[in-house]
Amino acid sequence: MSALPNSAYGQLETLFRRLGAIGEATSILHWDASTMMPAGSSDARGEQLAALNTLSHEMIASRETAELIAASADEATSLDDWQAANLREMRRNWVHATAVDAALVEARTKATMKCEMIWRDARPKSDFAAVLPALTEVVNLAKQSANAKAAKLGLHPYDAMMDQYSPGVRAAVVDKIFAELAAKLPGMIDQTLARQATATPPIEPQGPFPAAAQRAVGTKFMELLGFDFTGGRLDTSAHPFSGGTPDDLRITTRYDEDDFTRGLMGILHETGHALYEKGLPKEWRRQPVGEARGMDVHESQSLLIEMQVCRSPEFLSYATPHLKAAFNGDGPAWTPENLARIYTRVARSLIRVDADEMTYPLHVILRYRLERALISGDLALADLPGAWNDAMRDLIGIAPDSDRTGCLQDIHWYDGAFGYFPSYTLGAMAAAQMFQAAKKADPTILPAIAQGDFKPLYAWLGANVHGYGCRFETPDLITKATGAPLSVAPFLTHLERRYLG
């Protein structure tokens, strides 16, 4: 990374380094708001975030930046591959930023902070009516932003929304993938449930499982995976998430003292996210090319750890003695085989974050369809609870008895993240494909996991995914890592082997 500092490209590097630092500060403020900020501080925090977001927008959308972007085209032949990719990502960020004005950025930031705080109170009360006015404002502002970006990018508004989270992904492709999954998964679920009904049911470990003990064993496994607590934290929040920065990793989970399995898998999932951030190329820190390659790739890293690895027989054979010790467990409930039956149990569940990997894509398809209808105007926000319940019944075969377990369960819409949900299932597909490629490339990966050694796996991920940051577009990254374009087939093959083999 050695561009001439006075060149147009060199000046852009300086600008984006500052923007990266502001973005890191914003991330920490968001983490604090979701974990320990007093509820009465939300208006002030909204002002702080709006000021930082507006400042970033003004910097990237300035006339000077436009001139540097234009001038850098004349320097393209003097850039190396990493610099050229960095310039491509700078231009992508610039196009998104210049599509909306600063006033809209400020208004969206304040509206989403307000709506999120109302949602935190409304969710446990199952009070959709309480959050509806704030959500209406969030959706209206999201539509304005999407329309502005669509005009700039030459895209459909929903495609412009998805491009913020999964660059290059379009609804036409997602529709095809989701149609294939929606056609095949219900039948596979029926077969799996029929097999489970005739098999010996798992024995439920008896609690309570104190939150402190869950946290202790969770941190043990985090360190096993490679999480460094001198540069990161584990906290609790209403909705588990991973945030912070590559050098200051912040993850959260939530605990149920009657069931340790959900909190633990939440920790492992978010650790997958955090270690992806940690593994991004340090020499390109705070440059666009050094960032994560979209939320679909980000989700592939968390789901690879949670679903592919940590529900495998190899990991559970290693983990079981540690779980027994943490919770003073004894007897047939505390065998690797029994825990494997628990961790690979399929059920028609209401809550997405607790869903098994076979029903999970249907939860995502439901949200994808509903948010597209909301953005297009085909579904009125006031009708969202009923539409949610109908879709749950049609896709998964059950319906919630309250909005708390229905349309209020996820934070994303109330935080303004429309176009985000497809990344979860695209990530699950990529996770299956990447893990398959990793095991083929290095046959020692599974035996090492059985010994609690994740170094071979993370060596492969570092060399084939993490270390590239945004150097390659997503389709090229997946093809380079796995030898083939992203496909539904490896994911379905994985499900068939684990549940129907």
Residue 258, C-beta contacts closer than 8 angstroms, at least 6 positions apart: 207, 208, 209
Residue 316: its H or E element: helix 313-327
Active site residue 270: yes
Active-site option among 75, 116, 270, 314: 270
Strand-pair partners of 259: 256
In sign, the C-alpha dihedral spanning 192, 194, 195, 201 is positive
Angle at 295 between CA 152 and CA 261, to 5 degrees: 155
Q: How far is CA 213 from CA 47, 218, 229, 257, in A?
A: 38, 8, 18, 10
Cα 48 from Cα 26, distance rounded (Å): 9
Strand-pair partners of 249: 232, 244
Cα of 431 vs its chain's centroid, Å: 12
Cα of 192 vs its chain's centroid, Å: 27
- CB 87: neighbour CB atoms within 10 A? 23
End-to-end CA distance of the chain: 49
- CB 205: neighbour CB atoms within 10 A? 20
Amino acid 285 reads R
| Residues 264/439, Cβ–Cβ less than 8 Å | no
Q: Please, where are the H alpha helices in 166-210?
A: 171-198
Residue 149: its H or E element: helix 128-153
Strand-pair partners of 252: 235
| Residues 233/252, Cβ–Cβ less than 8 Å | no
Residue 131: its H or E element: helix 128-153
Residue-wise DSSP of 222-265: HHHHT--GGGEEEEE-SS--EEEETTEEEEEE--BTTBHHHHHH
Q: Which residues are catalytic?
A: 270
